[in-house]
Amino acid sequence: MDHLKELESVSVHILREAYANFKNLGMLWSIGKDSTVLVWLARKAFLGHVPIPLIHVDTSFKIPEMIEYRDRFTKEWKLNMIVGQNKEALANKLTFPDGTVDRTTCCRYLKTQGLKDTLSGEGERVRYNHEKHHYEPDKSRTPFTAVIVGVRADEEGSRSKERYFSPRDKDSEWNVGEQPPEFWNQFKTDFAPGTNIRIHPLLDWTELNIWEYIEREKIPTVSLYYNQGEGRRYRSLGCYPCTSPVESKSTTVSEIIEELKSGKFANIAERAGRAQDQEGGGLETLRKEGYM
């Protein structure tokens, strides 16, 4: 068994463990390469379909191609797709693009609070209706008490402190010092009532592993990851006011793989183009408050 096959096997095992052990389980889909690989792995784990609701927190500032991609594959893969937003913050223009708050505060409202409200059922959610081919209000207020996330340890410093099964408190806040030990693939899945759980099947994957797997499996990804003729492409996807592409001539998956192997980005963080990561104490602060 080669390394990719080993990674796939562990991820599939964790997905099945999560499905077997947690009620009200959801899976976050940010539309990026990592969470798309996660959806693909779930289709493998459950014989071609995904029995877990997919959740996307839409800030309303995502790059349009991302939303088009989400809706196209929601239909094609017949996904149980739920979309949440912090409509109150948007209505009150508490956003960085509106000039009323800084980037970190904008993320706190639209991503952290938007995610917490979507998971708790307290926020407004819409669900894709495959018969009518449109989104309609999700009348079920069922909370998601466990959620699968496409986090990788090598992507960003705070994520290297995660576990495969990571507990949060009742408010989805993360105490880094209270993470359970995980030895020899023995995972803790028994937690106290009221605990929210984040599950990370991709924790040991690297950026290179993700692209190698995308190439092997022929997984369709958003076109933003590839140079469209301007000598630039996105390495990490987010909201368009706060995300910048990198200089790159790569137009295919194999060219991205060679680019990564060449060491071109060896000293450049994968999320270097995400401006909000550089403000207000960084991503770890947001994640402790309940963000991905």
Question: 199 lies in which domain range?
Answer: 3-205+282-288
Q: Average pLDDT over the chain, rounded to whole? A: 89
Are 150 and 223 members of one domain?
A: no
The reported pTM is 0.90
The stretch 282-290 carries a mean pLDDT of 57
Q: What is the CATH number of the domain that holds 180?
A: 3.40.50.620
Are 201 and 212 members of one domain?
A: no
Are 165 and 75 members of one domain?
A: yes
The tally of domains found in the chain comes to 2
Enclosing H/E stretch for 258:
helix 253-261
Are 200 and 211 members of one domain?
A: no
Could you give the CA distance from residue 34 to residue 29 in angstroms, rounded to a whole number?
Answer: 9
The stretch 282-292 carries a mean pLDDT of 58
Number of separate helices (H) and strands (E) present in the chain: 9, 10
Looking at residue 37, what is its pLDDT?
A: 98
Give the other-Cβ count within 10 Å of 248's Cβ.
19
Could you give the CA distance from residue 114 to residue 191 in angstroms, rounded to a whole number?
Answer: 25
Are 88 and 143 members of one domain?
A: yes
Q: Are 234 and 245 in contact (CB under 8 A)?
A: yes
Taking only the tens place, the pLDDT of each residue in 9-64 is 999 999 999 999 999 999 999 999 999 999 999 999 999 999 999 999 999 999 99
Q: Which amino acid is at 54?
A: L
Are 135 and 44 members of one domain?
A: yes
CA angle in degrees (0–180, nearest 5) for 159-164-167: 85
pLDDT of 129 above 90:
yes
The stretch 177-187 carries a mean pLDDT of 70
Could you give the CA distance from residue 9 to residue 66 in angstroms, rounded to a whole number?
Answer: 28
More confident residue, 161 or 130: 130
Are 249 and 115 members of one domain?
A: no
Looking at residue 153, what is its pLDDT?
A: 87
More confident residue, 278 or 226: 226
Are 183 and 220 members of one domain?
A: no
Taking only the tens place, the pLDDT of each residue in 212-258 is 999 999 999 999 999 999 999 999 999 999 999 999 999 999 999 99
Are 198 and 251 members of one domain?
A: no
Report residue 159's pLDDT band, with 50, 70 and 90 as the boundaries. low
pLDDT of 281 above 90:
no
Taking only the tens place, the pLDDT of each residue in 73-84 is 999 999 999 999
Give the other-Cβ count within 10 Å of 177's Cβ.
5
pLDDT of 140 above 90:
no
Report residue 276's pLDDT band, with 50, 70 and 90 as the boundaries. low
Q: DSSP string covering 164-209, please? A: SEEEE-TT----GGGPPP-BTTB------TT-EEEE-TTTT--HHH
Are 130 and 265 members of one domain?
A: no
